[in-house]
Amino acid sequence: MEHESHPHHHPHGTGVRWLDIILGVAATIVSLVSLWLGLHSAHSMEKLVEANSYPYLELMRSTKSLTPLPGSDRTRGVVEYEMVNNGIGPARIEWVEFKFKGKPVRNLKALLDACCAGWTADDTRTMNLRNGIDGTLVRAGSSVKMFTWPEPDTPNRAFTTLHGQMDDINYSACYCSVFDECYVQHYDTNRVEPVKQCTAPAVTFQPSFKNG
């Protein structure tokens, strides 16, 4: 008598296949989670490095010095404009805007023309200036002086006139970190404004007597 052969069913085979699928899905999930954690960690580290390189440029001015004025009982006056980096990373100055009575001036010559008619080069011989400010890198904890004009020993009408009108001067500066995170700082409000880039205004200021 012939016997028909029947295929044997292995009930455990299906279970093994499902186990393989489950293990494969679990491994994929673990890989994706690991990838996400890695990317998140890298992003967090990037933000941490950027935070540890944050510059904060304060715009300052001085009207008085500690130096005595000869022949008087007071200290010497001064017209000084300075930027101090009180952040924790270097600041790269992109531009400065300087306004006298609301109108931007291009340089020191334009400022003196606006404030002090009749001034001469001899009036400003004691002034210290930089000639340029754009691109200056200010390290954390350091400062940069745009110009300093100490009160002359003898009466100087141009100095006295400008010194008396310092409240009519306002200025702003745009600067960036080493990661090109950029900010605009305003002297009048002491307010910092994050910006995508330092787009220069129509008239920017250079602490120089030269045009351009």
Q: What is the pLDDT of residue 44?
A: 43
30 and 87 both lie in a single domain = no
Question: pLDDT at residue 104 above 70?
Answer: yes
Rounded-to-10 torsion of CA 27, 29, 31, 36:
-170
**pTM (2 d.p.):** 0.76
Q: How far apart are the first and last CA of the chain?
A: 114
Number of domains in the chain: 2
41 and 128 both lie in a single domain = no
Taking only the tens place, the pLDDT of each residue in 141-182 is: 999 999 999 999 999 999 999 999 999 999 999 999 999 999
34 and 124 both lie in a single domain = no
Distance CA 24, CA 41 (A): 25
36 and 87 both lie in a single domain = no
Q: Is residue 124 included in any domain, yes or no?
A: yes
Contacts of 122 (CB under 8 A, 6+ apart): none
**Domain that includes residue 19, residue range:** 14-51
Taking only the tens place, the pLDDT of each residue in 43-58 is: 444 444 444 689 999 9
Residue percentage of the chain with pLDDT more than 70: 79
